[in-house]
Amino acid sequence: MTMDERVGELARIRGEAVEAAPKATEAQHAKGKLTARERIELLLDAGSFREVEQLRRHRATGFGLEAKKPYTDGVITGWGTVEGRTVFVYAHDFRIFGGALGEAHATKIHKIMDMAISAGAPLVSLNDGAGARIQEGVSALAGYGGIFQRNTRASGVIPQISVMLGPCAGGAAYSPALTDFVFMVRETSQMFITGPDVVKAVTGEEITQNGLGGADVHAETSGVAHFAYDDEETCIAEVRYLLSMLPANNREKPPRTASADPADRRCDALLDLVPLDGSRPYDVSEVIEELVDDGDYMEVHERWAGSIVTALARLDGDVVGIVASQPRVLAGVLDIHASEKAARFVQLCDAFNIPLVTLVDVPGFLPGVDQEHGGIIRHGAKLLYAYCNATVPRVQVILRKAYGGAYIVMDSRSIGADLSFAWPANEIAVMGAEGAANVVFRRRIAAAEDPDALREQLVKEYKAELMHPYYAAERGLVDDVIDPADTRTALIGALAMLRAKHAVLPSRKHGNPPQ
């Protein structure tokens, strides 16, 4: 056989690998789903994909497997670029074994994960697999174990993004839960440990796949999904956008872009966006939009734990992480879910050298038996631990009120914020004036001829003495009281000064954060 014939043979085999299962391709499209290769083409820059182990085949026997040995073994692995930056990817191919994971399939994923860690580049998984390949037994389970171990080893080292594009159960759901971000598509992607049939058999409850583990469930109720979209094209486009704001690894800073939005732009709209009356709600998203470059930001966990907002944005071209109280939801209180949401976001930003801006308007932690019994103490401590442990530049802005332990937890100077700014209407105190007066002057009020009049008088005295806007600044707990319109300029200047911040940490294997 000549070399030309050998090359022809190679082309034929490659064509077989790429065009596998044409009927299965039609079935995938009939469900409104793209194939694995079509998804990779959307994710990566045109022509940049380099596939690894395209010709891999399984070696399993029994249950008819020896007669069915398709190339790729149901997973496509390789690397390419997103906006010119290297990204590694693996994509389950549902057309082959339903994307189920076997020994060879897992080994391919292990290899690409090891390559991503060694190269110091992000890893994106396009998940559309039916779990472990039952015919391969414990070998398939061991394959999942190898993925989980590598997910953990890569955590905080390279960005890991999981994109859910089909039903993923059991082990196929655990790996995404170990990664930094989870994207889902409505109606076509689901995640659950045990499916509806098992749930019905064990508990008697009847529920659909989407009702049990669909995109909306995980985006709103469980908090497993950070993002949910209506179609694959939009979802993958947003993955590309997210990658544009993340560094390649923990040794680099996020990519900087030139900004046409002036650094010294005044934000006069802020004077009207936030009401002076601390009991009146407003949408902090409008404040964020006014502050960041071109009003453009990417909210993380937008539909879960709505009393706090976490978002990635740019200030003068530099990426920042924003944590903001949301007075529109539960008056902006910190509850169990809000604490968890913010804590993990703070940890993510700290791991990948993303400075933190915290916008504070918090009345405290949510009271109640359910919250206390649900562990608000340890969950709130997660956010406290995350901030205390963070070494990236940290700037706090107190927009309006900051009461009690929630003030401390929301990145106060006392737990290590580099700078704290406050607007002129700020109220920083152990609690609101009305509550404080009722506690401190309880006996005087009870003995008064006109309790209501005395209470009103004492509330005013308490506010004048301990809650005036300059009380914290006079004691060095706030670095400056600023005009709200100057907030963008103040933040950009502060972060520019802190750009070279270096923290010396004590020697330890790792901390033991609250669980």
- Catalogue the E-assigned strands of 137-180: 160-164, 167-169
**Residues 229, 218: Cα–Cα separation, whole Å:** 12
- Which one from 102, 171, 321, 432 is the annotated catalytic residue? 171
**In whole angstroms, what is the distance from residue 315 CA to residue 33 CA?**
37
Q: Residue 328: what residue type?
A: R
Q: At what angle do helices 487-497 and 284-291 cross, to 10 degrees?
A: 60
The answer to whether 406 is a known catalytic residue is: yes
Catalytic residue among 20, 219, 406, 437: 406
User: Are 86 and 116 within 8 A, CB to CB?
Assistant: no
Residue with tokens 């802005």: 397
SS3 23: helix
> Taking a C-beta distance cutoff of 8 angstroms, is the pair 101, 141 a contact?
no
Three-state SS letters, 272-298: HHCCCCCCCCCCHHHHHHHHCHHHCEE
Catalytic residue among 146, 405, 416, 493: 405
Two tokens, residue 471: 């009380």
Amino acid at 514: P
Strand (E) or helix (H) holding 88: strand 85-92
Distance (Å, rounded) from C-alpha 195 to C-alpha 173?
11
Cβ neighbors of 331 (< 8 A, separation 6 or more) are 279, 281, 307, 363
Considering Cα of 463, then 469, then 473, then 477, what sign does the dihedral take?
Answer: positive
User: CA 444 to CA 479: how far, in whole Å?
Assistant: 36
Catalytically annotated residue among 170, 278, 332, 404: 170
> Is 170 a known active-site residue?
yes
Determine whether 267 is exposed, middle or buried from the number of CB atoms within 10 Å of its CB (0-12, 13-18, 19+): middle
Contact at 8 Å (CB) between 161 and 348? no
Give the helix/strand (H/E) hosting 310: strand 308-315
Question: Whole-angstrom Cα distance, residue 425 to residue 290?
Answer: 19
Q: Specify the 3-state DSSP secondary structure of 319.
A: strand
Q: Per the structure block, which two tokens stand in for 261?
A: 């939005």
Element at 52 (helix H, strand E): strand 50-52
Catalytic residues: 170-171, 405-406
